[in-house]
Amino acid sequence: MGVLDGKVAIVTGSARGIGRATASLLSAQGASVVISDLDGDEAAATASSLAGETAVFAADLTQGDAPDRLVQTAIDAFGRVDIVVNNAGYTVDGVMHKMTDDAFQRMLDIHAVVPFRVLRAAAPHLREPAKAEREQGLEVFRKVVNVSSISGTMGNAGQVNYAAGKMALVGLTKALAKEWGQFKINVNAVAFGSVQTRLTASNQAGNTIEVAGETVTLGIPDPLVGSGAASIPLGREATVEDAAGGIFMLCSPWSDFVHGQVLHVTGGQVGGMTG
């Protein structure tokens, strides 16, 4: 038996990396999971690798009514939504004075607007059951976990767009916690430091994604690869499993009285202990 038996979770950006590790952990703890990603083939491969029930939704969540269709996928497959993890994202780095409007807007769209639209679509499926439970004197907790970053809580040179999007997500989290607390919907965020993913690997490694018909190269310059470990008291960068553990904690029953918080999952990385 798992602590999430009978729960239904949506995890965006869950074909690879932190999202995949999160989906795997939630599934191992009994949740049925909707795997959502740009890459339909990878999403299907991830879904097939999990032992529990899964559904797959492949689309660019910044486009059209994709967030609404994502939530409907969960309802069609499982009839309910209990957990929403807004994890999908990528980076388009650059210094402020050279950054284009498009590069700035893209980060706002994927890191702030998409979580807003996903949660707006999920709202009736989270709130309405809670209203009925409240009338019956029942206390049933549901979970929202938004994935931010210490770039958002502390800022980071070369990432004014990413930092703005991730800090906007923190504001969304705290405001929504005040709106949805009455429905026993825990709304929290995690802020990651350096995690070993495609976004922190070398930008010469050939990792790319297709967004709105444009190829986006992922990663950071070679001299910066692995440099985050020097500022982490625990002595290494996080694995995706480390990151997923923080998300899982906020999805679990042990977080039922944790609300409107930003959990820094950083190994004590500079900034992550004081934000």
pLDDT one-digit tens code per residue, 236-250: 999 999 999 999 999
Higher pLDDT, 31 or 204: 31
* Nearest in space to 163 (alpha carbons), one of 150, 174, 145: 150
- Residue 195: predicted pLDDT: 85
Would the pLDDT of 216 be above 90?
no
- DSSP single-letter state for residue 266: S
Tell me, rounded to whole angstroms, the distance of Cα 147 from its chain centroid: 4
Alpha-carbon separation of residue 20 from 11, 37, 44, 49, 101 (angstroms) = 8, 10, 11, 10, 31
Higher pLDDT, 229 or 136: 136
Q: How far apart are CA 147 and CA 130, in angstroms?
A: 24
- Residue 229: predicted pLDDT: 77
User: Helix 17-28 crosses helix 40-49 at what angle (to 10 degrees)?
Assistant: 30
Is 90 designated active site? no
Task: Look up the pTM and report it.
Answer: 0.92
Residue in the block written with tokens 């949805």: 180
57, 90, 104, 162: which is the annotated catalytic residue? 162
- Average confidence score pLDDT of the chain: 92
DSSP reduced 3-state for 142: strand
Would the pLDDT of 197 be above 80?
no
- Residue 203: predicted pLDDT: 66
Report residue 129 as tokens.
Answer: 């059951």
Rounded to an integer, the average pLDDT of 154-179 is 96
Question: Mind listing the pLDDT tens digit for each residue in 119-154?
Answer: 999 999 999 999 999 999 999 999 999 999 999 999
DSSP string, 1-32: --TTTT-EEEEET-SSHHHHHHHHHHHHTT-E
Would the pLDDT of 115 be above 80?
yes
Q: How much of the chain, in percent, has pLDDT values that exceed 70?
A: 90
Alpha-carbon separation of residue 42 from 160, 167, 197, 271 (angstroms) = 30, 29, 15, 34
The band of 269, judged by pLDDT with boundaries at 50, 70 and 90, is: confident
Would the pLDDT of 102 be above 70?
yes
Report residue 216 as tokens.
Answer: 């986006």
Rounded to an integer, the average pLDDT of 4-21 is 98
Contact at 8 Å (CB) between 146 and 188?
yes
Rounded to an integer, the average pLDDT of 11-19 is 97
- Residue 223: predicted pLDDT: 65
78 C-beta neighbours (distance < 10 Å), count: 21
DSSP reduced 3-state for 261: coil
- Residue 180: predicted pLDDT: 98
Would the pLDDT of 218 be above 80?
no
Rounded to an integer, the average pLDDT of 35-44 is 97
Alpha-carbon separation of residue 158 from 23, 119, 151, 220 (angstroms) = 30, 29, 10, 11
Q: How much of the chain, in percent, has pLDDT values that exceed 90?
A: 82
Rounded to an integer, the average pLDDT of 203-214 is 69
Backbone angles phi, psi at 202, to 5 degrees: -65, 135
In terms of CATH architecture, what is 8-265?
3-Layer(aba) Sandwich (3.40)
- Residue 36: predicted pLDDT: 98
Rounded to an integer, the average pLDDT of 28-51 is 97
- Residue 251: predicted pLDDT: 98
Would the pLDDT of 271 be above 70?
no
Alpha-carbon separation of residue 165 from 113, 230, 273 (angstroms) = 9, 26, 21
* Nearest in space to 187 (alpha carbons), one of 111, 274, 257, 109: 257
